[in-house]
Structure 1
Amino acid sequence: MDIVQEGDRTGILLVNTGTPDEPRPHAVRKYLARFLMDPRIVPMNRVGWWFVLHLFILPKRGRASAEKYARIWTDEGSPFTVAHGKLVRGLDAQLAEEGLDAVVRCAMSYSAPFVRDAVRELKEAGCTRLVVLPLYPQSAHSTTGSVSDGVARALRRERWNVPCDFVDNYHDDPTYVRAIAASLRHAGFDPGSDDRVLFSYHSIPLADIEAGDTYELQTGASSLQIAGELGIERNRWTIGYQCRFDKGREWLSPFTRDVLARWAEADVGRVFFVCPNFAVDCLETLYDIEHELKPFYFDQIRKAGREPREGAFTYVPCLDRSRAHVRVLADVLRTPLEGGR
């Protein structure tokens, strides 16, 4: 398939949330300040929220989160940053094999490399069209919507009037569904046993759903299709939501902790814990699952009068920098790229 037109060069921009520059309190506070002042994130009046955030939340959360980041940091730096760099190189090579004259860049909404800088690079590279792919398989006002805001702002500031395709979500892309199912099998999940799958997604405020956000529908559809690819019945899997930010608002549930507590009490088989809406492993997966959710589940089993059996809890890593992930993104991009022919 040849999708190159003479003189055409496509700029492909992958966008994710971001990560602090280093695992130190001041760097974490700087990152969180950008993140939590996003208009799509702010839970109250912006002026009042600024004072609450900077006087009460960031001093405490900056220290606590820095300690967590330090536990997952590597010699190469942030594992989140490293994975994105390798993912970009893999996708660039894959698209070149398919005969596309494309320039692939990655940007973050709240940390370097920033969206405006990446947009400027693509403009200077002579791109004649732009395809934006937020790395959120399931779209939400607070994630994909924020990326849309940031790209539109960057294009205005760079005065770049270029045709732009925006991939809103890829929650039901067949290659994505197969890749998540394959990752579960690779982790040891046995469809013929009593193994259970917990699909854990980032929670969002219920107010967003009431405002028209279709995130909940997409998480349900993704889970159903992945379970179908595995060939398991409905009683073998369920959905939980993690990472709610505050208790002042109602959040999409059931919460992952409550599901784990219920399963511990019921003495289900081995639990395979997967996060289909995290494209790349981050603090919420690398730290929270291993150091908080897994110990919580084992504690609940002990409270029920049993000892955790071997392999009782297995975390299934994100697609991350894998070849399978490159294939997923290339497949997701194929429709907008062919649309530019």
Structure 2
Amino acid sequence: MVRSFVFYLIPQFSLLPFSGAIETLRIANRMLGYEAFRWRIASDLGGKVYSSSGIAIDSDSSLADERRALMGEKRADLVLVCSGLDVEDYYNKSFDAWLRELNNRGCRIGSMCTATHLLARAGLLKGKRCAIHWENLPGFTETNPEIDAHADLFQIDRNIYTCAGGTASLDMMLNLIGREFGDGLVNAICEQALTDRVRPSTERQRLPLRARLGVQNGKVMQIIELMEANLAEPLSLIEIADAVGLSRRQIERLFRQEMGRSPARYYLEIRLDRARRLLAQSAMPVVDVAVACGFVSASHFSKCYREIYHCSPQQERAQRRQARMVVRENAMSLAV
């Protein structure tokens, strides 16, 4: 039996997870010696779809074609929605309705990279555990507090498949293939793809702090982890000192040595970094962004933001909106 996949491309989709997933299926067919997997590319109107890197992919079918296929022999075994940059700007009621129709008919539905946003908007993630890229997790959880979202590589919850993107699509596809064909085929694919293992779904997305920040001191790493876990309600330096068993003076000295700035300054910077992501990834009012990042007032938030990024939160959002419009206009001109 041939397993049929549909890859539905959203403009500005991320090319890496898309190509990684398809290449995994292609290698599986080659190792098996027959066509166990078949796929087609779909998009809203059919034709070319531009990735975030500017590379165009020709789609085989349109949304209208896929809605008709749902009732016939071409019905897919798994539909994977692929998106990337500016997914929050994508609105298509017919697409949302099609996702719900797929779900109601018991079809398997998945997302790669930021497309978890689209499954959530269609109402498919209630009561489900899902994965999304770590960079998009803050905005997603603030917008969808009722959804059980995690910075996992991928998650499979009943008929819903969510993948954080990047190379995690390879891990998710290998997991699917292994369930049906076993470890022998998975190992053969890994050897062809020059990867030494299949990562478990819950393996961390980001590099460990030691590698990411160059932090060597274990106490400093412990403090930074505490800070990152308490952005909405920042801990006082006294609370941090009690938690790690150091004095305030010791913490101040360690941060100067390891991070080149005070713990208060570093804490402020990571809260503002989260605020910047929320401004870019959500339509939350600025005052709500301020509260979500532990600021007592919008005015204090704006003052701190301007000090670090040399513009106000409102200006940052307007500049990003303008940049997205330019990208869309360039993509439309290329399509013509």
* TM score, norm. by length of structure 2: 0.29
Q: Greater helix share, 1 or 2?
A: 2
TM-score by length of 1: 0.29
Greater Rg over alpha carbons, structure: 2
> Larger relative contact order (C-alpha < 8 A, sep ≥ 6)?
1
